[in-house]
Amino acid sequence: MVRKNKVIVFIVTIIISIAFTSCALKANNAKKKIQIISQEQAAKHAAELANEKCQKDFGISPFKPESYKAEFIDSKWYWGKIDPIGIYGYSAKVEFYKDGSGNNVQVALSTDKLINNELKSQEGSKEGVTKVPELEKIIPDIESKPGSP
């Protein structure tokens, strides 16, 4: 009889342990399921994702939720853009579904420099080429040299 009681106690203990572990796992999984329904939540989540990637790639976390506006389009959140000016030269483009899945994170560092904080162009410049008057003083137009193609 004593042996039978020990077996019953042992089995009950195992069942309680399994039930407790199962509840703990369900609670942990429930924490991972998120629903991002507001612009503020989306911007915060996007900035975290962008900073994680930027920290990994460049060793810096320059983004704040207010760095860009979050927009919900076709069941996805979009935040940021690849920008040649960026934040200290860094820019990010992030997209994800409202449950936080489907992350697509791009970060970039632009090494382009602006003169007087403006991009300047002249009419008549070749397609895809921006002429900057300040640089033309230093680097003359190649086409203006005799013997150039």
Task: Note the pLDDT tens digit of each residue in 59-90.
Answer: 999 999 999 999 999 999 999 998 878 888 89
Helix boundaries (H) for the chain:
2-32, 39-58, 133-138
Confidence of residue 41 (pLDDT cuts 50, 70, 90): very high
Confidence of residue 111 (pLDDT cuts 50, 70, 90): confident
Task: Please check the confidence at residue 96 and state whether its pLDDT lies above 70.
Answer: yes
Higher pLDDT, residue 113 or 72: 72
Phi-psi region of 138 (alpha: psi -120 to 50; beta: other; left: phi over 0): alpha
pTM confidence score: 0.55
| CB distance 100 to 34 below 8 Å | yes
More confidently predicted of 30 and 26: 26
* Domain chopping of the chain, boundaries: 1-33, 39-109
